[in-house]
Structure 1
């Protein structure tokens, strides 16, 4: 993958943006149970992206 210091925050931002855009699609799902499961999965992806983006090396 490489050792560029800005690579991990970039991937984190991509994960957060993908979770937000996917949330628009999830809102139109017909079954509530499927919608809840998808939102929980998106929450996990967004939190992982947040941690990757705003990590602190100090």
Structure 2
């Protein structure tokens, strides 16, 4: 297995994506214009979804 194909990296990147999206959503909750908050929330939803899939992907094959 090549260094770039290590199976434990994908779940780690998924967790980082989830944390980053949640942190961005929390950061704009109280500050910033409404349009920016909505844009961050809309972007955060698919990022969390992709991170969730990457984190829980099955490598047992």
TM-score calculated relative to the size of structure 2 = 0.78
Please, which runs of 5 or more residues in structure 2 have no aligned partner? none
Q: Which runs of 4+ in 1 moved over 6 A?
A: none
| Counterpart among 8, 11, 19 of residue 10 in structure 2 | 8
Number of aligned residue pairs:
58
- Partner Cα distance (1:10, 1:53) in 2: 7
- Partner Cα distance (1:34, 1:23) in 2: 10
1:5-56, Cα deviation, whole Å (9 max, x unpaired): 1000000000001111111112023322221121010111111100110112
Contact in 1 for aligned 2:25/2:37 (Cα 8 Å):
no
TM-score calculated relative to the size of structure 1 = 0.82
Please, which runs of 5 or more residues in structure 1 have no aligned partner? none
